[in-house]
C-alpha cells in the first residue's frame, strides 16, 4: 500500500489530501483564498503565496488528524510542479521537498493539468484509456485524446480566452464579483425559458469549423455590445438571469458539441470532463444527455474534484509511482 500526501498550491487554493493506493482518499482539506482576492477583481500573486505559507502546515495537520495517522505513516509526498503562479507553486514544492527530506520519502512532482485530466478516474475506475478528455478551467480549454498514463494527444485548444475566463469576464461586465463563473451559473439556473428563447442568441464561435480549437474572446465582446445597446445604465434587473443563461447555453453548446465530435471522429466511446468549469450543472446535464444519444459514456468528477484540489494530486502521484517506482528512488 502506498499513502501519498498531495499538496496543491498553484493558484488561489491551498489543498492537502492523503490518498491511499488501496483504500482511496483517506482525508482532504482545502482553503480557498477567494475572499483575499475578491476586492482586487482577480488573483494577486504575492498575496496568494503568502496565504499558502500561512495555511499549508495547519492543513497538513488537519488532514492527518482526520485520517487518524501520523507523518511517519506517509509513504510519499506529491506536489503541483506547474503550471501556475511561480511564488505559489514554490510554497507547495518547498514544503513537499522539505517533508520528503525529513521523512526520507520520495517527492513526486505532478503536472496540474494532467491531475485535472485524470480527476474523473478518482471515483470512476470504469473510465479507461483511451478516452476523450475535455479540460475546462479558468486558465485552460483543451481537448485531448488520453491514450495512457502520461500520453495525451492534444486535439484542440482555445486560441484566446479560456472557458472559465469567458464566464468570469462576462460576469464582471454584469457587475458580479470575482470569480463570476459560479455566480453567473447560479443566476442562469433560474432563468425564464420563454424570455431566453426570445433573446437574440449569442454566437457559437468555431462550432462549424473543422478541427477542435475554440475561441471565446468574440463571445465576450458580443455580450459587451449586447449589454451596451440594451442596458446602457447597467439596469439589468431580472433580465440578468436570462442573459446569463443565454451566454451559458452558447458556451455549453460549443464545448459539448466539440467534445462529442472529437470522440466520434477518433472512435472513442468515453468522454471525461475536468477543471473548474466541469462543475457547471448545465454542462454536466447537456453533455451527458447528448453523449448518451450518441452511445458515448460521460465521466464527470465529483464536484469537489472539479476545482483545484489536492486529492487529484495525490491520486495521480500514486499512479505515477506505481507505474515507475524506480523514477523516485534517490
Ligand atoms: O480549475 P480551476 O479551479 O482553476 C484553474 O486552474 O483555473 O477553475 C476555476 C474556473 C473559474 O474561471 C471559475 O469561474 C470557473 O472555473 N467555474 C465555473 C463554475 N465553477 C467554477 N464556471 C462556470 N460554472 C460553474 N459552476
Ligand atoms: Zn486548476
Per-residue pLDDT of the chain in tens (330 residues, 90 and over written 9): 999 999 999 999 999 999 999 999 999 999 999 999 999 989 999 999 999 999 999 999 999 999 999 999 999 999 999 999 999 999 999 999 999 999 999 999 999 999 999 999 999 989 999 999 999 999 999 999 999 999 999 999 999 999 999 999 999 999 999 899 999 999 999 999 898 888 889 999 999 899 999 999 999 999 999 999 999 999 999 999 999 999 999 999 999 999 999 999 999 999 999 999 999 999 999 999 999 999 999 999 999 999 999 999 999 999 999 999 888 876
Give the Å distance between the CA of 137 and the centre of ligand 2: 6
For the Cβ of 275 lying below 6 angstroms from any atom of ligand 1, the answer is yes
Q: Give the nearest ligand 1 atom to 112 CA.
A: 6
Residue 324 shares a structural domain with residue 279: no
For the Cβ of 162 lying below 6 angstroms from any atom of ligand 1, the answer is no
The CA distance from 270 to 252, in Å, is 18
Residue 113 shares a structural domain with residue 160: no
User: Which three cell numbers mark 209?
Assistant: 469549423
Half-sphere exposure at residue 116, Cβ-oriented, CA atoms within 13 angstroms: 28
Residue 245 shares a structural domain with residue 317: no
Residue 271 shares a structural domain with residue 138: yes
Give the Å distance between the CA of 275 and the centre of ligand 1: 7
Give the Å distance between the CA of 86 and the centre of ligand 2: 14
The structural domain count of the chain equals 2
Cross-strand partners of 5: 18, 77
The CA distance from 301 to 298, in Å, is 10
pLDDT of residue 200: 83
Q: For a substitution probing ligand 1, which of 141, 164, 173, 250 has the most ligand atoms within 8 Å of its CB? A: 164
Nearest-CA residue for ligand 1 atom 8 is 276
For the Cβ of 277 lying below 6 angstroms from any atom of ligand 1, the answer is yes
Q: Give the nearest ligand 1 atom to 181 CA.
A: 14
Question: Beta-carbon neighbour count of residue 1 at 10 Å?
Answer: 8
Residue 131 shares a structural domain with residue 210: yes
Q: For a substitution probing ligand 1, which of 276, 287, 308 has the most ligand atoms within 8 Å of its CB? A: 276
Nearest-CA residue for ligand 1 atom 21 is 276
The CA distance from 97 to 105, in Å, is 9
Residue 159 shares a structural domain with residue 34: no
Residue 170 shares a structural domain with residue 262: yes
For the Cβ of 249 lying below 6 angstroms from any atom of ligand 1, the answer is no
For the Cβ of 8 lying below 6 angstroms from any atom of ligand 1, the answer is no
Residue 296 shares a structural domain with residue 313: no
Residue 76 shares a structural domain with residue 175: no
The CA distance from 135 to 142, in Å, is 5
Residue 56 in contact with residue 14, Cβ under 8 Å? yes
Residue 146 shares a structural domain with residue 277: yes
The CA distance from 281 to 143, in Å, is 19
pLDDT of residue 82: 95
Comparing CA positions, the residue from 127, 109, 108, 129 lying closest to residue 119 is 127
pLDDT of residue 328: 86
Give the Å distance between the CA of 173 and the centre of ligand 1: 17
Range of the domain at 199: 126-300
Who's near 162: CB < 8 A, 6+ residues apart?
136, 137, 138, 139, 140, 141, 216
What is the chain's Cα-based Rg?
20
pLDDT of residue 287: 98
Ligand nearest to the CA of 301: 1
Ligand nearest to the CA of 312: 2
Residue 131 shares a structural domain with residue 219: yes
pLDDT of residue 330: 63
The CA distance from 270 to 266, in Å, is 11
Q: Give the nearest ligand 1 atom to 307 CA.
A: 3
Give the CATH number of the domain where residue 9 resides: 3.30.420.40
Residue 146 in contact with residue 133, Cβ under 8 Å? yes
Q: pTM (2 decimals)?
A: 0.94
Q: Give the nearest ligand 1 atom to 13 CA.
A: 3
Residue 102 shares a structural domain with residue 139: no
Amino acid at each position: 500500500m502506498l499513502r501519498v500526501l498531495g499538496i496543491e498550491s498553484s493558484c488561489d487554493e491551498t489543498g492537502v489530501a492523503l490518498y491511499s493506493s488501496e483504500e482511496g482518499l483517506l482525508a482532504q482539506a482545502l482553503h480557498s483564498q477567494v475572499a483575499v482576492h475578491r476586492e482586487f477583481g482577480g488573483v494577486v500573486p504575492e498575496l496568494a503565496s503568502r496565504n499558502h505559507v500561512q495555511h499549508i502546515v495547519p492543513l497538513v495537520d488537519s488532514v492527518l488528524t482526520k485520517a487518524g495517522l501520523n507523518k511517519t505513516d506517509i509513504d510519499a509526498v506529491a506536489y503541483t510542479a506547474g503550471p501556475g503562479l511561480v511564488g505559489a507553486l514554490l510554497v507547495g514544492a518547498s514544503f513537499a521537498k522539505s517533508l520528503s527530506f525529513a521523512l526520507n520519502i520520495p517527492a513526486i512532482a505532478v503536472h496540474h493539468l494532467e491531475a485535472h485530466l485524470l480527476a474523473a478516474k478518482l471515483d470512476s475506475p470504469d473510465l479507461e484509456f483511451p478516452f476523450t478528455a475535455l479540460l475546462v478551467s479558468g486558465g485552460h480549454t483543451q481537448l485531448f485524446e488520453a491514450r495512457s498514463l502520461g500520453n495525451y494527444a492534444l486535439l484542440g485548444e482555445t486560441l484566446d480566452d479560456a472557458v472559465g475566463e469567458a464566464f468570469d469576464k462576462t460576469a464582471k461586465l454584469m457587475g458580479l464579483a470575482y470569480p463570476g463563473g459560479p455566480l453567473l451559473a447560479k443566476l442562469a439556473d433560474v432563468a425564464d425559458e420563454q424570455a431566453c428563447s426570445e433573446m437574440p442568441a449569442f454566437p457559437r464561435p468555431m462550432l462549424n469549423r473543422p478541427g477542435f480549437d475554440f475561441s471565446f474572446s468574440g463571445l465576450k465582446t458580443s455580450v459587451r455590445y449586447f449589454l451596451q445597446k440594451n442596458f446602457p445604465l447597467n439596469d439589468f434587473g431580472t433580465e440578468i438571469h436570462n442573459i446569463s443563461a443565454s451566454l451559458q447555453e452558447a458556451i455549453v453548446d460549443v464545448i459539448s458539441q466539440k467534445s462529442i465530435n472529437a470522440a466520434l471522429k477518433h472512435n472513442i466511446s468515453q468522454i471525461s470532463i475536468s477543471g473548474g468549469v466541469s462543475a457547471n450543472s448545465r454542462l454536466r446535464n447537456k453533455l451527458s444527455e447528448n453523449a448518451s444519444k450518441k452511445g458515448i459514456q460521460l465521466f464527470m468528477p465529483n464536484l469537489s474534484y472539479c476545482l483545484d484540489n489536492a486529492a487529484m494530486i495525490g491520486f495521480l502521484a500514486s499512479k505515477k509511482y506505481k507505474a515507475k517506482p524506480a523514477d523516485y528512488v534517490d
